[in-house]
Structures are given as C-alpha cells and as structure tokens.
Amino acid sequence: MFALFQTIDLVLNIYTWILIVSAVFSWLYAFNVINSSNQFVNSVGMFLYNVTEPVLKPIRRRLPNLGGIDISPIILLVIIFFLRTFLWTTVYPLVS
C-alpha cells in the first residue's frame, strides 16, 4: 500500500512541476522571449497546453473575470497541495 501512496504522490509532484513550467512558458511566449516560430518551442507549448488545459478549464469557468490575470494555476496548486497533505496525514495512517 505504501508503494501506491508514493506513486500517487510522485504523479502529483510531477504534475505540479509541469503546471509551473507551463505558467512560466506562457509568460515567456506572451512577452516574445522565446521564438514562437520554432517548431520545438511550439511542440513543447502544445504538450504543456494539452496536459494542463483539461484540468485548468473547469477552474477557469468557475472563476470570475479578473481582467487578464489567470489565477487558475495557483488554485490548482493549492488543490494539489491539499490532496498530497490529505493523502499522507489522513488516508495513509488509516490503511497502514
């Protein structure tokens, strides 16, 4: 059972880093710091978009319009932090 909890924790940790990289990438793309016509940059951007957008889209629908400020990644990071903490402090002691 410990291996299952470690695997879930690892997946949530990796997704956290993908979410952070996606946010930084979107800033770099928006301010033309990276070359948007480069095929590698576009493929990385599409990968990050395809991995994060299905989870961020429902959060964005429920948030009010903040005038160009997107706080949905922050809310998702808080949810992931809560899930990881809940997993290790509440669920794992019950099953171990």
Domain residue limits at 73: 1-95
| Centroid of chain to Cα 29 | 17
pLDDT-based confidence at residue 7 (cuts at 50, 70, 90): very high
Q: Specify the pLDDT at position 67.
A: 86
pLDDT-based confidence at residue 59 (cuts at 50, 70, 90): very high
Q: Specify the pLDDT at position 1.
A: 85
55 touches 79 (CB < 8 A): no
Structural domains counted in the chain: 1
Q: Is the pLDDT of residue 54 over 90?
A: yes
Looking at the whole model, is its pTM more than 0.85? yes
The SS3 assignment for 31 reads: coil
